[in-house]
Structure 1
Amino acid sequence: MSTERRGDGNRIVGKIIQNIERVAGIMLGLVTVLIVVSAIGRYGFARPVPDVFDVSRLVLGIAIAWGLASLGFHGTHIKVDLLALSVPKPVQIAINGFAWLVLLGFTALLTWKIGERVMDAMGGGDVTMELRLAHWPFFAAIWLGMVAALFTTAVRLVIIVRDGRDLGEFDAFDETLLQDSDQK
């Protein structure tokens, strides 16, 4: 019974992480569309789209925050594992656990500071130059991405500590490529 619940929990967490990745992808796509539309408007019709610069940089911030949430689970950032790969498995797990704990602390501090920025923007009335769009909804979306990053980083830390699993499942593709090239 407990394994069924654990499986359901894993499925729910997987769905949450999948939705986090979708938000990051949609926001990155939106930035791309905004820039393309801006370029077409400016150079094709000599009519720039109002506030596209401000909106695209704010949406890019949202994409980065939600992308950090995806990174918080998958760990697909640049890393150097020279030390971790040369020590026994229990030490590797301890090193990875410490690294993810540091990332969790950094993410918590960043979330706190961005939350303060949201409150300042709400009270300060920051708006874009032309359309007078309020900045605080964009900052709130960035803050929600950071909250999602806290969640995903904590989930990964729990997996490392509880299950003793490393990020090997994400490096398996590279190992398969190496094995295939060695066989040739």
Structure 2
Amino acid sequence: MINTIEWLAAIFVGLVALNIFVAVVLRKFFNTSIPDAYDFGRMFLGILIFWGIAATSYRGGHITVDLVWTAAGPRMKRVIDVFATLVLLFVVAVQTTMLFDKVRGTWADNVQTYDLNIPTWPFYAVAWFGDVCAVLLIAIRTYRLVFQPELLQEARPEQKADE
């Protein structure tokens, strides 16, 4: 499941890059543009952000500043990890609720793209589903941090440096 989420995030990175590349080439060399390129770009970027959150949340591979964590003992490190993951779970769960409201609002208001009049709510729904996956993965990570910490014992960069 985690690998699938990471692959989906990677696909959305590719879609964002492809949209930008094709739009620039068409504008520069052919004096034309992709209809709704801006709308597609911003919606794909939104999708990418939420799927990226899902991809990094389980592994804890996001950027962190862990000066206190590094100085703490093993027991305190675990307490900090559990607390931080619970805070992240709460924030992402609230974000998911608000994003669902956005999906419902764009659907109810029949918001469409400018050029092609494509409904935008499916794009928001895909982003929301990425956020739902993030909540599920963070909940799994929290459970494992509390009850099965040995399952999350991936080597951290500072651990590799000590070896």
- TM-score tier by shorter-chain length is over 0.9
The 10-residue stretch of structure 1 (31-40 or 73-82) with the greater mean CA deviation from structure 2: 73-82
Q: 1:122 aligns with which of 97, 102, 107?
A: 107
Identity of aligned residues (%): 33
Q: Which residue of structure 2 lines up, in the alignment, with residue 149 of structure 1?
A: 134
Cα deviation for residue 80 of structure 1 reads 1.7
Residues 91 and 165 of structure 1: is their aligned pair in 2 closer, same or farther, counting only changes over 3 Å? Answer: farther
User: Is the alpha carbon distance of 1:65 and 1:165 closer, same or farther for their aligned partners in structure 2, counting shifts above 3 Å?
Assistant: same
Q: Deviations over 1:142-176 (max 9, x none)?
A: 1000000001111111111112359651415x543
User: Contact 2:16 / 2:45 at 8 angstroms: preserved in 1?
Assistant: yes
Which secondary structure does the structure 1 equivalent of 2:122 belong to?
helix
Whichever residue aligns with residue 154 of structure 1, its letter is: A
Q: Which ranges of 4 or more aligned residues in structure 1 deviate by more than 4 Å?
A: 165-168
Specify the alignment match of 2:56 in structure 1.
71
Larger-gyration structure (1/2): 1
Structure 1 vs Structure 2 CA RMSD = 1.7
Q: Distance in 2 between matches of 1:48 and 1:149?
A: 34
Amino acid at match of 1:84: W
Indicate if the aligned counterparts of 1:74 and 1:170 stay in contact, CA closer than 8 A: no
What's the TM-score once normalised by structure 1's chain length? 0.83
Instruction: Tell me if structure 2 keeps the 8 A contact 1:93–1:165.
Output: no
Q: Does 1:87 align with 2:72?
A: yes
The unaligned stretches of length 5 or more in structure 2 are: none
1:12 is matched with none
Pairs within 5 Å for 1:1-184: 16-165=1-150, 169-172=154-157, 175-176=159-160, 178=161
Give the direction of change, closer, same or farther, for the CA distance of 1:24–1:32 in structure 2 (3 Å limit).
Answer: same
